[in-house]
Structure 1
């Protein structure tokens, strides 16, 4: 990411921490049973509005990377006509051929979205109400997603987005494969000692009620931000870092996300023991199925003994794990445009769809 995009990403997370988390108790209902894949479909979104699709959306605008990734994962990449065309979506094959819908400052280009006139516009919860209303006043069907606070929210979103485009089977399958991979990792580290972990980037940490916090705990760590009483994505003081003294620090792989050469990091157990882990900045920040990649990287770092060479991890099909590979074909499924760090392994069934 460039410095500008890093700042935008940080701003978005801080907005989520102030708005999305506070609204979490009244999170939008996905409504109905997506298993039947029937239409018309009506769901209540994060604004409390009932959003109705009379038939599957043939064209979709995704206003954030996580939504775009989810449509790729439910075999609906061909439906996406507009999305953020940025460095952080380049791993989605064919994304450069879509219409860019964000301004340079990261705000929504309302005029461009309206010109696309898609059957459905999907927005993250940090898009302002005024922008959502502008689009609706221009006769756009807009669904604003709720704040994703856990893996369960990602599974539900995956199924819902599959229903939006009439690909319910693909949505359910992707959600199940993601869930199975997450649970296989959870099981692999169960019973292991739980290191104290701080997820930190640009002065911000992932506290209680965040999917990244859920990742840390699923990977077999104790989320120190949550232990310190921090909720959602918030800034943390140097004093709190010293007090919590993490065994591990997890950050993103962009330059500038963390400077471990300065205090308070230098005196932490994590830095002194060379236990600072950097994960893919794009995948870890996008609440979508591919969070299993940085999740496994974390788990393997925290508990290498649980993933020793020759250890088999059960997948949905019972097959042995396979190494993630990159593909250049677009197709309906997405290829892995970003190599998995430290040789992370993903279940063969989870990869087969993306090749």
Structure 2
């Protein structure tokens, strides 16, 4: 008997499932029922579909399920329907865990699989399924293909930046960590932003979703409708319309084909978003030929068996590109906005009130429909009519347009011409950038009306940058936002880009109050080129804008020079007048100098007289000095007389005090002591008064003598210095 541990693939087989239940299969089962689509997909992959008798409704995408019994119920499976299929074996993956016991009570042989959350789990599940149904060798081959695909995809995305991604299920529910879907997202080059929030399939709040801010969304509808709803619309993915359409039958079913297809589709989209081109294979060759197999931005693989002779476009930028490539003779349908191209009058106009008319496109009987990003909403409708439709990604810069041109050349068989067009475009960009390199970058704005403007991450913003301006709206938002009057006035552009020769928008507020409006600074660009991301648009728009910027700055410089010349002329006149005034002043100064010289002569003569007078004065001073000496001597005699007088007064006072004390005798000793004390005080006071008077007398005698000496010295000094001067 075979067991799970044996490597041989045969029967009877004993094996234990995820519930710990051991089941026995006596022989290879001929009637197999599945309770989950992932088990059905695995059976189809290993070639056992002919022995399947019952499937669920979600396995309906597999070929041949119409002939199988649908065992689905409102929720899960119907036990009665499963029993009715009379199965030898029931395969019940993890999602059917709740009904395993009910099925076993009906004496059914049920194998219950564990949850599969990664590639190893799926490989083990595939190998186990092969053992259970006797298809071990095919199961091994399927696992080999799956593992090789995983390795290839990881190599493909190894050098890419990992985009932050999210797979919303609706109602805030998302695929988070420890899920099969998270494994797919990692392999294909993205980082699941929900993986750091929880495990399984949690419900996240709007705030958390906005905080995680995914750059790309995984969706399973071609419209990506969930990106139009909040909070997803306010994420980077929503704002930039970045989404990848995944096949729901594969993405939600942990089985080998799901891994293979989902990882390839997601990796191709990630690569396309980052490198602005999709994964292309041309019979494993890079040559430009047919048949051609290529994957577009929706992740859809299309095949063009031979060079298309009837091409219809759903957007004027695609038409312009075809005209540039020389493929216009094979174009059978265009939109009304491509009417500026020569020869479109003979083409079918496929426009409707909004977008294109699917009926009109079908009526052109096209071999190929080229649908740029603006037509994304109608791609599914066109494909529903069995049309071969290639959908381009959004083109927001020159690299995007070059990739789009190269891709168009491959699709229509004009690769060489496409390369030449790209060369011309790239050379023009280089020339224009050199032309504007030395210019000041003017603050510019391209208003679309109603406050709407071209902002960052747009083709028009790229044109404005190359053309030598700085788009003031680029710092406000991405895409084509509506700005308030206050914000427009705050950005205050110096230059407005317009598409009408009258530039009438500059006469309306708030534009009239901007720097550009007040100075009537604008550049008129061709509307057909500026609004269509295609090579000729780049060439013509950048050249026109650069010439306009250069001309405006040249006029400003001319005005500055004119003002400078006027200022120089005025300055020259002032200089002439200043020179005349200076000459007059010199004449006056010379005349004054003559007068001054004459005065100086008179002064010198006066000085001679003064010197003579000074000599006489000096002689008088000598006489005065002699008199002063005599006076000093007299003062000394007077001082001596004063001293003698003071001494006499002291002697007299002493005698009077002594005479007064004697009659009192001893009885009056205390009083005598007091009186004596008083006398001493009085005596000291009088003596103090004596010297004080002497000092006063001395001071008075010193001042006249000192003044005379100083006066004599001053006069002698003047007499000495005057002859030297």
- Where on the TM-score scale, by shorter chain, does this alignment land: which range? 0.7 to 0.9
Distance in 2, Cα, partners of 1:128 & 1:160:
17
Q: Which one has a bigger Cα radius of gyration?
A: 2
Say whether 1:68 aligns with 2:40: yes
* Residues 281, 293 of structure 2: 8 Å contact kept: no
May I ask how many residue pairs the two structures share in their alignment?
286
What are the equivalent positions in structure 2 for 1:287-306 lying under 5 Å apart? 287-291=254-258, 292-304=260-272, 305=275
* Residues 213, 236 of structure 2: 8 Å contact kept: yes
2:75 is aligned, of 97, 106, 109, to 106
Say whether 1:137 aligns with 2:105: yes
Instruction: Find the counterpart in structure 2 of residue 92 from structure 1.
Output: 62
Tell me the CA shift for residue 89 of structure 1.
Answer: 2.4
Instruction: Find the counterpart in structure 1 of residue 229 from structure 2.
Output: 262
Tell me the CA shift for residue 312 of structure 1.
Answer: 9.6
In the TM superposition, what whole-angstrom CA distance separates every residue of 1:156-200 from its partner, at most 9, and x where no partner exists? 111111111111101111111111112111111113211111111
Distance in 1, Cα, partners of 2:182 & 2:29:
33
1:248 is aligned, of 206, 216, 227, to 216
In the TM superposition, what whole-angstrom CA distance separates every residue of 1:22-68 from its partner, at most 9, and x where no partner exists? xxxxxxxxx83474213332332222212222222121000111111
Tell me the CA shift for residue 90 of structure 1.
Answer: 2.9
What are the equivalent positions in structure 2 for 1:206-355 lying under 5 Å apart? 206-228=175-197, 230-253=198-221, 259-291=226-258, 292-304=260-272, 305=275, 308-309=279-280, 341-343=299-301
**Matched residue of 1:92: which SS?**
coil
**Matched residue of 2:33: which SS?**
strand
Distance in 2, Cα, partners of 1:308 & 1:295:
13
Change (3 A) 1:296 1:275: same
Change (3 A) 1:34 1:187: farther
Distance in 1, Cα, partners of 2:279 & 2:37:
33
Tell me the CA shift for residue 106 of structure 1.
Answer: 3.0
Tell me the CA shift for residue 117 of structure 1.
Answer: 2.1
Change (3 A) 1:252 1:60: same
Distance in 1, Cα, partners of 2:138 & 2:293:
22
Q: Which moved more, 1:282-291 or 1:208-217?
A: 282-291
Tell me the CA shift for residue 264 of structure 1.
Answer: 1.4
Distance in 2, Cα, partners of 1:312 & 1:191:
25
By percentage of residues, which structure has more helix?
A: 2
**Matched residue of 2:183: which SS?**
helix
* Residues 81, 118 of structure 1: 8 Å contact kept: yes
Instruction: Find the counterpart in structure 2 of residue 319 from structure 1.
Output: none
Change (3 A) 1:142 1:254: farther
Change (3 A) 1:172 1:34: farther
Distance in 1, Cα, partners of 2:242 & 2:283:
25
Tell me the CA shift for residue 263 of structure 1.
Answer: 2.0
Distance in 2, Cα, partners of 1:109 & 1:185:
39
Change (3 A) 1:122 1:308: closer
Tell me the CA shift for residue 290 of structure 1.
Answer: 1.7
Instruction: Find the counterpart in structure 2 of residue 156 from structure 1.
Output: 124
After TM superposition, the score normalised by the length of structure 1 is: 0.74
In the TM superposition, what whole-angstrom CA distance separates every residue of 1:47-95 from its partner, at most 9, and x where no partner exists? 22122222221210001111111101100001100111x2x42321110
Distance in 1, Cα, partners of 2:216 & 2:95:
30
Say whether 1:176 aligns with 2:144: yes
Distance in 1, Cα, partners of 2:261 & 2:154:
14
Say whether 1:37 aligns with 2:9: yes
Instruction: Find the counterpart in structure 2 of residue 7 from structure 1.
Output: none
In the TM superposition, what whole-angstrom CA distance separates every residue of 1:75-124 from its partner, at most 9, and x where no partner exists? 0001100111x2x4232111010011112x13321112122221110112
Distance in 1, Cα, partners of 2:229 & 2:222:
17
Structure with larger RCO (C-alpha < 8 A, sep 6+): 1
**Matched residue of 1:235: which SS?**
coil
Runs of 4+ in 1 over 2 A off after TM superposition: 31-35, 38-44, 88-91, 126-129, 304-313
After TM superposition, the score normalised by the length of structure 2 is: 0.37
What are the equivalent positions in structure 2 for 1:17-28 lying under 5 Å apart? none
* Residues 118, 140 of structure 1: 8 Å contact kept: yes
Instruction: Find the counterpart in structure 1 of residue 92 from structure 2.
Output: 123
What is the CA RMSD across the aligned residues, in angstroms?
Answer: 2.5
Change (3 A) 1:217 1:312: farther
Change (3 A) 1:152 1:34: farther
Distance in 1, Cα, partners of 2:142 & 2:7:
13
* Residues 125, 146 of structure 1: 8 Å contact kept: yes
* Residues 34, 168 of structure 1: 8 Å contact kept: no
Distance in 1, Cα, partners of 2:65 & 2:248:
18
Say whether 1:194 aligns with 2:162: yes
* Residues 34, 160 of structure 1: 8 Å contact kept: no
